[in-house]
Structure formats: C-alpha cells, structure tokens
Amino acid sequence: MKNEYIPQLSEIKEVIKHTDLEYTFRMAFDGEVKPGQFFEISIPKYGEAPISVSGIGDGLVDFTIRRVGKVTDEVFENYVGDKLFIRGPYGNGFDINNYKGKEIVIIGGGTGVSPMRGVIQYFAKNPTDAVSTTVIAGFKSPDDVLFKKDFEEWSKTINVIKTVDNAPEEYDGPTGMVTKYIPDLKFQDIKNAVFICVGPPIMIKFTIMEIQKLGVADEQIWTSYERKMCCGLGKCGHCKMDDKYVCLDGPVFNYTEAKELFD
Amino acid sequence: MGYKFSKEEMASIFSKLAVDYDVFAPVVKKGDGTFSDVDVVRYDKVSSLDEIEFEKKSDYSFKEALLPINETIFYFTEDETTVPKGPAKERLVFLRACDLNAVKRLDQIYLKNGFEDFYYKRTREMTKFVLMGCKESCTSGFCVSMGTNTTDEYDLYLKLDGDNAYVEAKDEKLAEAFKSGNEEAVSPDFVSENPTKVTLPKNITPETMKSELFKEYGNRCINCGRCNFVCPTCTCFTMQDIFYKDNEKNGERRRVWASCQVDGYTEIAGGHGFRSDNADRMRFKVMHKIHDFEKRFGYHMCVGCGRCDDVCPEYISYSNLVNCLGKECE
C-alpha cells in the first residue's frame, strides 16, 4: 500500500525572481499534473505547506511561492541544485475542456494568478481553441507584478489587462482594482462566456458580484479556494467547508457549488 | 457462540490473551481528573481483567488506540526518511456500542474519504473490538436518539456479572480461547432509552447557519478543544515537524490531534484565518456532527456518547444546543 505522506526529494532546476517576496521554483517532477492542482512542499524541521502548481513542463513543475510563513521563509534559502521534499499532485485542478470554444475571462489577484497560469498558457498557445481569451490580473503595485515576461508573451495572442492598485504618477499602465475592468468587457454571446476567478477571498467576492451584473449564470463561473490543506488527503479536516474537502473536491469549484460553501 | 465462566476462569483466560494481544481498555486513573482528588477514566494498555473499568463511561474515547494523540509519520536525517514500524501485535480494544459505531466513522474518513491512510490502516487491520455492554444508560449520552445504542460489529462480547463472566465470540480465532466454558446463549446488553434525548433539526437551511444560538453557545466557549479531544468521531490532526536538540538535522514529522475550536485551525500562511469568531467555530462543529457528514456519507457523524457535554469546563451542552436548533427549525 502506498504511503501518501512520504514526500519525494525534488531538485530545484531554476529560480525565477518576480519580487523580493515571490519566486517561482522550477522543480523536477515526473507524472501527470493539471493546472490548479497543488503539492505539499516541505523541508524537514520546518514543515509542509500546500503550494499550487503555477506551471507544468516536461519533467518539471513550477511553484510560485510567496514568502509569508515558516516553511516558505526556509524555501527561499534554497537555490538551483538544492532539493526540496514534495508530494502530490492533489486536488481536482482546472479542466481545460470546460473552457474550449468559449469566450474566456480569467481574473486573478496577486499570487491568485499562479494556479491559473497553466490555463492562460494553454489558451495563449492555442488561441483558436477559444472564441476569445481575456486575462485581467491585478497586483498591488508595479513592484508586485508576477510573471512579467509571461504577460508580454501572452499579450501577443490573447487580451491582457494587467492592472495595479497603486502606482506612481509616471506609471502608464492600467490602474485600479480588477473589478473596474469587468463592466467594459465585450462579448459576442454572453451565454457562451466563462469566467475563472482566483485571488484573496475579498477579491473573489467583489469580482463575482461584478461578473453577475453582466447577467452571467452561476454555471459559467469557476473559482479556486485557498485553505489550510494540511494533509492534502481528505484526512486532517482543516480545509473542510460544509460537506466538501477543498483538497479532494476542490480547490477548483464551479460557482454553483462554491456559492453554497462557507467557512 | 456464547460461554459462561466463573470470574476467576475468565481472568485467567484474559491474562493469556493479553500475552498474544495488546489490550486497550478503559482504566481508572486515580487522581488524574480535572480537579484535585478526582479520577479520570481513559484508555491504556492492560494485562489483567481487573484493571478494566466496566461500570463508568470512559471520559476519553477509545480512539487513541487507533489514532495516537501524536503519531510519528517518519523520522528524518537530512535527506533520508524512515517510517516507524507498525504495531508488533494484534490488538484488542474494549469499547461500548456508541464507540463501536464511531469506528465506522473513523473508517469512513481514514479509509474511504479519498486516499487510504497508511498508518490508520495498518493499525486498524490488526485490531479486534471487544464490546462492553451497557446495562444502564449513562446520564449524558443520547445513543438511542442517534441510533447508535446497538451494534453487531464486535469480535467479542464480554460481560462480568457478580462472580460470573459471559462471552460471545464472533471472531473464530478469539473463540478458540473460550471453548473450555459452558455453552450458554449470550446476547449483549444494549440500552433502549437514555435520560438525555435529542431531536435533530429536520429542515436545515442556509438560515440555520446564521442562528443566534451559535453566538449564544459560542460566547461561552474558551477554545480549549476538549470537546474535540474526547469525541470518538473527531479525526482532525495537524502536521508538525520537530527536531532533536542534540542534532538539529535529525527529527520527525508527526501528526497531532487538532481541534476546530482552537485558534489557528483555519489559519493559512500570511495569517489569514477563516473562522475567527467562536459562533462560527461552534456552528462548524455542530453542523459537521449533525449535517455536513451526513450530506457527504449518508449517516450522521455524532454517535451521542455525551462526552463533549461531560468534559466542557464552561458547561456548554451540545445536546441542548442541538435540541434548541431542532425547535428553531420546526
């Protein structure tokens, strides 16, 4: 019987620094992974932390990590060639098929962009698989922007609105909250639109309120929840919401389900 | 098949069994209760029959025999991990009907909710259950209301009655040990009525979740988590790494019992928590016991043992809260 709690050692292949607090660790991993799934990353003595997959490559998996706690602080002490313990992938992840042939709007706040990055990458590479793809990504300030190179790349094939909440006067890009850009979205057929929205709880709440004003049905909205997934295996209980375990049934939920869930 | 013995004969058979098996049973811990000079009944390994407390309900449940309060997941030395060995011997766990019904709930989470749990499974497969009957109902339990007052899932039933002892052995291997006795029909003592009765709310709606009752009861809660720790159906844990002082590169990853009532339970990295209010924590616990679990698995989580009401230092009565909620939902 497989002991799911035992992590495997994985080598750090590349470290991409986005901001002082947020790095992407490109790690060795062989196996099937879907965007939106997560791994438990650990360093013995410091513990485990659930981190979502921010990119998938051949024998590689990316984790964009924000340095905010005991485990992540220690992860930042490691660089290329070092090894971290990982186990996963866990959770359902995003199913690309739900979005093919649709008018896709992907809305992310801060590190909330990470779990959706795989979805964005897919449609940026295969733009004709969707009627249209629009990404609205919000960051606190120009210094907090993640995936800068990606945004440049993506904007060649899909619509990208990268906005910052606060900017110095000379900043010439979009500013304000992501919600500001939702009312102006244009659709050929709003019934064929799909929305994916991931970010801090408060951002998800207001973004969905704004999306609903467009006359969108709940089935057309997806979100992903960040909770304390201690085990990732449906055992430890910390991520339970109502009758759902975020680690098993989520973290990606269609809004028909998500709207029933509360903490 | 049932057998009758004298108490002495039974004690001698038991002593032999306790060599082949690790036996976990409720025992009286003198003076170890919450207040001075108060005893506590909790589970421990026993080697003789007279150590077992057959009369009083145990203050803590049997669950630590299957799920230790803290359990080593692996030892680490730099890049190496080593999984500790499982139980060396088969184990016998003495428990009552409510608790045996709770085993089904533990199995549900640890074996049938997503992945199988390696550690639980290897202990569970080595475990046989010995039912202790209930001649009379305890005061706070409401097993009849929860339908958990009876069970036929036991491997052995053992009853002491004055100078006599009775067993019913369903497990073939265990039955071997009792073949010397006089055959007699034995059936377990189950209660059919409790002084405490609970009527579960029938129409739980999103409005129920906002009930003022949770605020009222939650206000008195001091977040000690005792209700979770005595509960035979609470299964939550937290992962924890510790290291050894004499060599900081060596240590172990453990899982430790956790409580949804204690601070930090929902807190994610960066400090955001999802249930900071006691009313929300109370609602979360109660709804899990009488609603969410049932929605997912088709039967209620709570087995009505009443231990949470007995242990609460603030005299919060879960059974009362559920009854009040039932009235509100009528």
A47 touches chain B (CB under 8 A): yes
CB contact under 8 Å between B284 and A7, yes or no, is: no
Q: Residues A152, A38: one domain?
A: no
pLDDT of residue B206: 87
Work out the average pLDDT over A133-155. Answer: 94
B257 touches chain A (CB under 8 A): no
pLDDT of residue A1: 82
pLDDT of residue A263: 85
Could you tell me whether strands A103-109 and A132-139 are parallel, antiparallel, or unpaired per DSSP bridges? parallel
B293 touches chain A (CB under 8 A): yes
Distance (Å, whole) CA B255 – CA B236: 9
Q: Residues B151, B241: one domain?
A: no
Residues of B in contact with A73 (CB under 8 A): none
Average pLDDT of chain A, as a whole number: 94
Work out the average pLDDT over A4-19. Answer: 95
pLDDT of residue B35: 82
Distance (Å, whole) CA B132 – CA B168: 11
Is pLDDT at B297 greater than 80 in this prediction? yes
pLDDT of residue B36: 84
Q: Tell me which of A41, A46, A52, A230 to substitute to probe the interface with B (most B C-beta atoms closer than 10 Å).
A: A230
Count structural domains, chain A. Answer: 2
Q: The domain that contains A66 carries what CATH number?
A: 2.40.30.10
pLDDT of residue A154: 96
pLDDT of residue B304: 97
pLDDT of residue B221: 96
CB contact under 8 Å between A238 and B266, yes or no, is: yes
Residues of A in contact with B280 (CB under 8 A): 263
Q: Residues A117, A246: one domain?
A: yes
Nearest to A68 among B238, B270, B284 (CB): B270
CB contact under 8 Å between B269 and A5, yes or no, is: no
Q: Residues B90, B130: one domain?
A: yes
In three-state form (DSSP H/G/I as H, E/B as E, the rest C), the secondary structure along A99-157 is CCCCEEEEEEEHHHHHHHHHHHHHHHHCHHHCCEEEEEEEECCHHHCCCHHHHHHHCCC
B277 touches chain A (CB under 8 A): no
pLDDT of residue B307: 97
Over the stretch B22-54, which tens digit does the pLDDT of each residue have? 999 999 999 888 888 889 999 999 999 999 999
Query: Considering Cα of B18, then B24, then B26, then B30, what sign does the dihedral take?
Result: positive
Residues of B in contact with A228 (CB under 8 A): 265-268
% chain A with pLDDT above 70? 100
B63 touches chain A (CB under 8 A): no
Distance (Å, whole) CA B150 – CA B100: 9
Q: Residues A158, A221: one domain?
A: yes
Q: Please indicate, yes or no, if residue A2 is contained in any of the structural domains.
A: no
Q: Residues B56, B103: one domain?
A: yes
ipTM: 0.93
Q: The domain that contains A207 carries what CATH number?
A: 3.40.50.80
Work out the average pLDDT over A226-244. Answer: 95
Structural domain span for residue A42: 8-90
Partnered with residue A198 across adjacent β-strands are A108
Structural domain span for residue B214: 208-328
Q: Residues A75, A191: one domain?
A: no
Residues of B in contact with A69 (CB under 8 A): 269-270
Residues of A in contact with B106 (CB under 8 A): none
pLDDT of residue B248: 84
Nearest by Cα to B174 from B21, B297, B287: B21
Label residue A188 exposed, middle or buried (CB < 10 Å: 0-12, 13-18, 19+).
exposed
A68 pLDDT tier (thresholds 50, 70, 90): confident
% chain B with pLDDT above 90? 88
pLDDT of residue B15: 95
pLDDT of residue A40: 97
B268 touches chain A (CB under 8 A): yes
pLDDT of residue B329: 82
* Closest residue on chain B to A239 (Cα): B266
Work out the average pLDDT over A199-206. Answer: 92
CB contact under 8 Å between A226 and B76, yes or no, is: no
Work out the average pLDDT over A228-245. Answer: 95
Residue in this structure with the two tokens 């109660």, named with its chain if needed: B286
Reduce the DSSP state of residue A55 to 3 states and report it.
strand
Q: Residues A100, A79: one domain?
A: no
Is pLDDT at A70 greater than 90 in this prediction? no
- Within 8 A by CB and 6+ apart from B162, the residues are B7
CB contact under 8 Å between B269 and A44, yes or no, is: no
- Please spell the DSSP secondary structure of B133-168, one letter per residue: --SS--SS--HHHHT-S-----SEEEEEETTEEEEE
Over the stretch B233-259, which tens digit does the pLDDT of each residue have? 999 999 999 999 888 889 999 999 999
Q: Residues A236, A190: one domain?
A: yes
Q: Residues B123, B266: one domain?
A: no
Q: Please indicate, yes or no, if residue B196 is contained in any of the structural domains.
A: no
Work out the average pLDDT over B63-87. Answer: 94
% chain B with pLDDT above 70? 100
Label residue A26 exposed, middle or buried (CB < 10 Å: 0-12, 13-18, 19+).
buried
DSSP 8-class letter at A175: B
Q: B183, B199, B216: which is the final residue of a domain?
A: B183
Residues of B in contact with A240 (CB under 8 A): 288, 292
A169 pLDDT tier (thresholds 50, 70, 90): confident
A1 touches chain B (CB under 8 A): yes
Q: Please indicate, yes or no, if residue B102 is contained in any of the structural domains.
A: yes
Residue in this structure with the two tokens 């609205």, named with its chain if needed: A136
Rounded to the nearest angstrom, the minimum Cα separation between A132 and chain B is 35
Rounded to the nearest angstrom, the minimum Cα separation between A45 and chain B is 5
Rounded to the nearest angstrom, the minimum Cα separation between B283 and chain A is 10
pLDDT of residue A65: 92
Over the stretch B7-27, which tens digit does the pLDDT of each residue have? 999 999 999 999 999 999 999
pLDDT of residue B270: 78
pLDDT of residue B31: 84
pLDDT of residue A250: 92
Is the pLDDT higher at A18 or at B269? Answer: A18
Query: Considering Cα of B212, then B213, then B219, then B225, what sign does the dihedral take?
Result: negative
Could you tell me whether strands B21-29 and B182-183 are parallel, antiparallel, or unpaired per DSSP bridges? unpaired
Over the stretch A42-57, which tens digit does the pLDDT of each residue have? 999 899 999 999 999 9
Count structural domains, chain B. Answer: 2
Q: B166, B183, B200: which is the final residue of a domain?
A: B183
Q: Residues B143, B104: one domain?
A: yes
Could you tell me whether strands B164-169 and B2-6 are parallel, antiparallel, or unpaired per DSSP bridges? antiparallel
Pick the range with the lowest mean pLDDT from A73-82, B86-95, B150-159, B185-194.
A73-82
Could you tell me whether strands A221-224 and A252-254 are parallel, antiparallel, or unpaired per DSSP bridges? antiparallel
Reduce the DSSP state of residue B58 to 3 states and report it.
coil
Q: Please indicate, yes or no, if residue B217 is contained in any of the structural domains.
A: yes
Is pLDDT at B1 greater than 80 in this prediction? no
Q: Residues A145, A59: one domain?
A: no
CB contact under 8 Å between A243 and B115, yes or no, is: no
Q: Residues B297, B261: one domain?
A: yes
